[in-house]
Every structure is written in structure tokens, then in C-alpha cells.
Structure 1
Amino acid sequence: MRLYLINPSNPLVSIVNLKESCWNRYRVWKPLGLMVLAGKTLPEWEITIVDENLGVPNYQAMPRPDLVGITAFTSQAPRAYEVAAYFRNMGIPVVMGGIHATMCLDEAMERVDSVVTGEADSIWQQVLKDARHGNLKRRYDGGLAEISDIPLARHDLLTGRYAFGAIQTTRGCPLNCNFCSVTAFNGVRYRQRPIPDVLREFQSIRDKRVLVVDDNLIGTRPEHISRAKDLFRAMAQANLQKEWVAQVTINFADDDELLALAAKAGCRGVFIGFESPDPEGLVELGKRFNLRKGQDFRASVRRIQRHNILVVGSFIIGLDAHKPGIGKRVAEAASQYGVDNLNVLFLTPLPGTRLWKQMKTEDRIALDSFPEHWKYYTLTFPVAKYKHFSLDVIIEEMLSCDRDFYSMSRIMRRVWGNLWQGRQPLITLIGNLSYRSNFRLNCKAYADFKRNWGDRHNCIKES
């Protein structure tokens, strides 16, 4: 029995298209979810994982599969349905899972043979048994998997043109921000994999550099921090000889022992969601965790960096609390905090989030011809109607932010500062040039976007 597991592409996402820029090799991640399912796949199945981000293959020239499994984030959904239609027209059953199929169940069920909602780990072997016997059900509900039952991912099935391997050590996030669908999909309960399992999987990864895909590696509560310390101690003792990056909250900087252990375990960079430079914006997003009394973001970033750990800061523009000029304010805030890289996104209502429900109720979804328009829900296109911004203005806010933060003078100051402090100047240079190199592509993409969809935003008033 032959199984294809497919991660569909999105041609609008230039940052993960390796043909557009050699720098994008450092910004494309392995589809870990498919690798985990491969680890749960019964031995009688011959597995091929296809990651279309590395290039869309000639499916016609490939051996005919007996079953196709497709995962998709929301922005991948249109391409996922194209792939599904191709194989279904050949009489091959297609099962779809992942966050979009879970949040848009009816839409997905119209376009595939079977849908797996929630985390597929616990139900996947049953799906395969039913498929083998020609008895595939229309829907399977995985719910929330037992974290101790998550298998080691099949890292051997994807090698080659990736700069990073991938691993997951926890699921769920207790922050429950209104724009994030993690809680809706993975739950608010913070679940941690057994440390021995994490170590075994790390050891099975051939890549020297690894992305820890946890939405919040260290958690928020004292018991979460304690477990993170235990994990880092075990990783250091195992001498994994890996360098890794992860997503954390700003409380990562509050515990010097935690920082020292993370660095000793191989941590070389963290992604932190600052989200907004204003307290009003954080309240609007439901991220009150960043409003803790006395929090000095500049001092926090420096404490992290003193352990030779780079910091990527993430912000969102387009909040109701934001006014024109927010692009430059974000760039200035990020520079003031001293982050090594900046990632800025448009406020995007994703299915399943509280933000989606709010904007849907307020008739603020600008691009709503689905599933076609899902391809724009990458967080890098302004798909909603924004309170204080016309379409032209909010796009210019984004471009001005990138222009300011990624000017050559500021890049060289950051690189020089890292060189002076002995903190990975080459990695900082590569990361900054990667973002800068996509600026021209972004300008063209926004021009095309305005030409095609500007009329859907014409009711927005600039204040």
C-alpha cells in the first residue's frame, strides 16, 4: 500500500519559495505534523512525504498511491483542494486534516473524501485501517492527543534542502490571545512530552540546527518553568550537539538559571511576540501577559542576548488601537528593545479565533470569497477592514516599518553590535538580509493585491 502525505504550497508566500531567494532556505520549515503521522503509520504502508514548498512535483510521473493525506494551514487551503481534486479525479481517496480542515469542516468535507479534525495522532492508525479495507469514514475526530503517545517523527523521510530540522516538546498555550487559533486547536492546557522521548527524537535528527515548533516552549506557570529547566538540563547532559531556536514568551528573560540552562542546551535564538508597542493594543489582543508590572522589554532582551541567544521580535499592525504612523513606531520600538530581527504581520482574522467571530459580526472581513481568498490569509496581506486605515495607508505602514528597521545602516549597527558582544554576527546578518531581500517582492505583491482587491476596502475611512 502506497501513501502520499502532502504539504501544499502557496504561490503568494515568497518567503518560503526557495527559487525566489537563496536566503529563504533559512525561513522554510519541515512539515513536522506529517512526519509525526508517518511515525504512527502502520508498516504495510510505503510512505512518501511531499513538501511543495521545495517545488511542486510532477504527480503524474510518480507511482500511483492508494491513499493521499493532506494537511493545510488556512492560507494553504486553496492549493490543498486543487491537489485533492487531482487525486480524486483519478479515483484515489483523499483525507485532509490540520487546523484549517478542523475550523472549516463543512468546506473541507465538500472537497475531500474524509476529514480528520483535531490532533490526528490517536486516530490515524484507524484511518489507515479503514482506508485499506475501503471503509473510509467521512469524518474522524482526533481531539487532543495524549502527549505521552506522540511518536518519534520520521525525520529520515525529509532530508536535503532545509536549514533546520524540527521537533515539538509541548502542545497547547494558556495565553489564549484573541487572534491566535492555537488554543482552539491544541487547547489551553499546557501538555509536555516526556523528556526521554524528546531526547530520543533530538538524537534521531540529522540536522545540526533545529526549530522547536512549540507555540510556547517554557509556558507561563512555575511548574512549566521547572519542567523547561529539567528538559534543558537533560539536553545538556546528553550532549546533543544541536543548536536550536524556539518560540517563548517574554518571561523567558526573568530567570537567569533558565537562560543559562537553555544556552547550555544549545538555544541560539528565540521568537517573542511583543505584538504592540502600546498597552491598549495588548489589551485589545488579549495578551495581558505582556503587561505585567515593571516589565522592561529592553532590559529583558539584553538579558537574553547576554547568553548568546538572538531575539526575533514579532508585532501586529492594524489594531483598532493603532493610528497612522504605527509602522514607524513599531520599527522604533523594535530598535529600542534591541531585537536582532523583526517580524511584522497584519491583524488577520483566522477561522476559529475570537477575532474572526468579532470581525465577522462587524462585517469587517474584506476578502470573503472562500475558498479562493484563503490564499491571502498568510498574515502578510491586509484581508480585513481596519478602523483607522485605508488599504493604501496600512500597506504603506507595513512598508515603512520594513524600510526603517531593515535599512542598511540599521542592519550594520545590529551586526556590529553583535560582533562587539561576541553574539553570532553572521546569523544576524543572514536573517536581516533575508528579510531585506524580500522587500522588492513584497512591494510587487502589495501592488498586485491593491489592483485586484482594492474595491473591497473602499469603505474604510482613514482617520
Structure 2
Amino acid sequence: MPEIAVRMTKRNHNAFVHLLGALESQGFDLSELLITKDFREILRARPKVVLYSFFTEEIWENLPQEIRLLKDMGTLLVAGGYHAIAMPKHTLNQLGFDIAVIGEGEEVLYSLLSALKNSGYRVTKELLNIRGLAFYLNGEFVFTGFAKVEDFWRFPPYPESVRLISPIEITRGCPFGCYYCQTPYIKGLRMRHRPIDQIVKYSRRMKDMRYITPNAFAYGSPGAILKLNKLEALLRALQPLRKEGRRLYYGTFPSEVRPEFVLPETLELLIDYADNRRLAIGAQSGDDAMLKAMHRVHRVEHVKQAVEYMLEYGFEPIVDFIVGLPNETEESQRKSIDLMRWIIARGGKVRAHYFMPLPGTPWARCRPSPLSDEMKKFLGRMAAKGKIEGSWGMQIELSRKLRKLMDEFYEEPMSHTVPVRNVC
């Protein structure tokens, strides 16, 4: 039986598919792994090590129960993902993991598994030589540094020996540093892009070609500017695959586009080269003061202009908002309502989210603002009409749990590039 298990879930599927591709490309034999979404299969196999990757929201789901069962069997537990990176001590001390992977995992995971195999799956001083780990050694907390993979494209986006597929990460990092978002602080402030020839090569395995990027129209640029020639070169290179029957979805799930990048010239590229006629953009607020406070680096006028361009060119706008932002007044919420109403009246759709203080962000310790009666009524009425999507109701309770977690266990977070400063 395999001595190492990978605990796949719906939410960590994309991350583990990429990491398995990286492991395989470095010479790791994936047949040595039990890769499964069925936890019962892991219990039956009784592996020496189980790999996890999870978001903070998942610590209130089945994760604690799974950890208890595995610890009772003497299993060594390794955690990666956003929560482990932002809160390694909580991951080790409170959740019960033995090792937390801190940073980008392609290289550190290979080194870690190799070292564990050599040590009989024990935490030893040999792990001190591997950058990107947090663990306890002789009762002392050890952090070996943040693991960085500048050229992530050295690793394929999926393995060849295992039939797993996911949207391809074509861009990593984000220069804008929005205060509510984990991505720029964990993936870096500089955008790095997978080369076009690789994207074409690996896209052949997909029927629907979808990509992971924080800003789809920024392909080929450092991040804050548009490189139209680079974007067009990518989309044009994928056309032979479309002619073979594949469909290209660009700027929509699981990625999005910043509103100031939505221009006639970028939309014309989608009309010529892509199949989707929906486009997802992040507005986040209808109040310029709130946009400035959250470090969005765009204004309401950019959102309105983007929506108008999309409608003019035949695209359905899907616009994200965050409600209950820190220090958001009733007047600020009224401005968001006005912008949502304006978008809906023109045929767009709104996705509403309640603010969640995520660890590893500058707003991790900030307090959400209560929703005004006007906002509650508006969201409920528009949701009943099918004009607004989102899980803001469930997120209110989740936000409360996150706030309590931050109050009790806040840690100064690890970061890819710059220290994450608390701005609350």
C-alpha cells in the first residue's frame, strides 16, 4: 500500500493537480501516492503521511475530525495552502498538523517527501535544510523561510501518469495589493506568466480551455498595464485548438478581469478569438472612498465604463461586490446599491459577497461593518428576482468565525515579497 496519501477535495483539486505535475517532472513516482477524494480510502490504507491543502474556511468543516482520526493512527500530517501559509502556528498547535508548507510548493514538496522517506517519515533536523517549512523540533518552533518559485512555468500544470486535469495557471502574482486579498502577499506582487507555447501544448488536453489568472487581460505584462500585443499573441496561438473543437473561455470563471482593462480593443479580441460572452470583473464597492481605502487602484467610473463597453460589444457583465467592508458607512453602502442597481438595469448581473477578514492580508484584523436595512432589503429583493448571486448570508456567519479566530490566534503572516502590514 502507498505510504503517502494526497487528500484531494473539490476546493484543493486545482492546486494538487499542479503540484502532482511538479512532483512528477522532478522524478517522483506518482504510483507511490494514494491520490483520492474519498477519506475512507485513506483510513483503510493507513498511510504514513497525508498531504492536505485547505483554506481557512475549511477548518470549521470536516477537517478537524479527519485530523483526529489520522492522528490516532500515528499518521504524519503535512498542511499546505492559504491557511497554513498565513497561520502556521495555528496549523501546527491548534489543528494538529506536524509540518506546514510555507510559500509556493512545487520544489519544497518534492524535497520534503524525499527527506521524509529517508528519515522513516519522522520530523528530523534534516528538514532544516529545506526552505519553505514550519514545524516543531525538540519543542522549538522552526521556520525555514518562505518558498519562492519565480519561474513556476518550469513545472507542467498537470501530471502525465495520472488522469487529472484542471484549469491551467497561466499567470501568478498581482501588483495591486488589495487589502482584503491573500493572492499578492502569498503569490507575490510581480506577475509572472507561463509562456505561450506551453499554454498551447498543455491546453490540448482540455475540452473547455479555462485558465487561472488574477487578471486575464494582463497576460504578458508586469501586471498594472495592458500589453495588447502579448494578449493577442496568446489568444491567436490557441485558435488551432478551437478549430479542432475545443472551446476557449477567457476572462471568466475561474479567472476575472480588472475593470480598467475592459476596453474596446480587449473586447474585440474576445469576439475574434474566444467563445465566452460573459465577463467577470471586480467592482467591490460603489464608493470611491472605499475603493481607495481597500487599495483597489481603480474608481467607480472605471466600473461603469467597463460595463458600458461590455454591453456595447455583446457581453454580459458579471460584477463582484463586497458588502460589509471595514468602516463602511450607510452612505457608502447606498452608493454600492446605486451602482448595483445601475448595472442590473442595464442587463448585467451582480455577485455579492460579505467581507471576510482573511488571515495573511492587511485587513485580517479589521471588523466587518453591519449591513444597513436598505442593503439587506435590496440584496434580498434582487436575489429573489435572480438579478444578484452570491452567498453573503452564509458569509456573515463565516466572517464572525474568522473575526473570532483572528482575535484569539492572530499571527504576523509570512509573505512572498513585502511584510503584510496591519492597516486596521
- TM-score when normalising by structure 1: 0.68
Partner residue, 2:409: none
Q: Kindly state the Cα deviation for residue 82 of structure 1 after the two structures are TM-superposed.
A: 3.7
Alignment-derived partner of residue 59 in structure 2:
77
What is the CA deviation profile of residues 73-101 of structure 1, one whole-angstrom value per residue up to 9, with x for unaligned ones? Answer: 12123444443332232122211111111
Q: 1:448 to 1:235 in 2, by over 3 A?
A: closer
1:242 CA displacement? 1.9
Which residue of structure 1 lines up, in the alignment, with residue 105 of structure 2?
A: 120
Using a 3 Å threshold, how does the CA distance of structure 1 residues 40 and 346 change in structure 2: closer, same or farther? same
Query: Which residues of 2 match residues 89-100 of structure 1 at below 5 A?
Result: 89-100=72-83
2:352 corresponds to which letter in structure 1? V
- Residue identity matched to 1:330: S
Measured after TM superposition, the shift of residue 43 of structure 1 is 1.5
- 1:317 Cα deviation after fit: 1.8
Distance in 2 (alpha carbons) for counterparts of 1:68 and 1:330: 44
Residue pairs, 1:28-427, within 5 angstroms = 31-41=13-23, 42-51=28-37, 57-59=39-41, 62-78=44-60, 79-110=62-93, 111-134=96-119, 136=123, 137=127, 139=133, 141-154=146-159, 157-158=163-164, 165-206=166-207, 208=208, 210=210, 212-219=211-218, 220-222=223-225, 224-239=227-242, 241-244=246-249, 245=252, 246-254=255-263, 256-263=264-271, 264-290=273-299, 295=301, 297-320=303-326, 322-324=328-330, 329-337=335-343, 338=346, 340-356=348-364, 359=366, 384=367, 386=369, 389=370, 394=371, 399-408=376-385, 411=387
Where 1:288 maps in the other structure, the secondary structure is coil
Offset, 1:170: 0.2
Is the CA contact (8 Å cut-off) linking 1:328 and 1:400 kept in structure 2? no
Measure, in 2, the Cα distance between the counterparts of 1:86 and 1:226.
53
Distance 1:132 1:355 in 2: 40
| 1:449–1:149 Cα change, 3 Å | closer
SS in 2 for 1:247: coil
Distance across 2 between alignment mates of 1:311 and 1:181: 25
The residue identity in structure 1 corresponding to 2:377 is: S
- The aligned residue for residue 366 of structure 1 is none
Deviation at 1:30, TM superposition (A): 6.5
Is contact 1:328-1:404 (8 Å) kept? no
CA RMSD of aligned residues (A): 3.5
Kept after mapping to 1: 8 A contact 2:286/2:337: no
For 1:178 and 1:168, the matched residues in 2 are separated by: 23
Q: Please say if residues 195 and 231 of structure 1, whose CA atoms lie closer than 8 Å, have aligned partners that are also in contact.
A: yes
Runs of at least 5 residues in structure 2 that lack an aligned partner in the other structure: 134-143, 405-424
1:86 maps to amino acid:
L
User: Higher mean Cα deviation, 295-304 or 170-179?
Assistant: 295-304
Q: What SS is found at the alignment partner of 1:402?
A: helix
- TM-score between the two structures when normalised by the length of structure 2: 0.74
SS of 2:330's equivalent in the other structure is coil
Q: What's the offset of the Cα at 1:307?
A: 4.2
C-alpha distance 447-241 of structure 1, shift in aligned 2 (>3 A): closer
Counterpart in the other structure of 2:416: none
Distance in 2, matches of 1:167 and 1:340, equals: 28
Counterpart amino acid of 2:354?
A: F
Contact 1:34 1:49 in 2 (8 A): no
Query: CA separation in 1, counterparts of 2:40 and 2:113?
Result: 25
Q: Please state whether the residue corresponding to 1:94 is helix, strand or coil.
A: strand
Q: Structure 1 vs Structure 2: percent identity of aligned residues?
A: 18
Could you tell me whether the CA contact under 8 Å between 2:287 and 2:332 is conserved in 1?
A: no
Q: Name the amino acid aligned to 2:59.
A: A
| 3-state DSSP of counterpart to 2:352 | strand
In the TM superposition, what whole-angstrom CA distance separates every residue of 1:263-299 from its partner, at most 9, and x where no partner exists? 41334433211111111111111112336xxx35334
Distance 1:125 1:448 in 2: 34
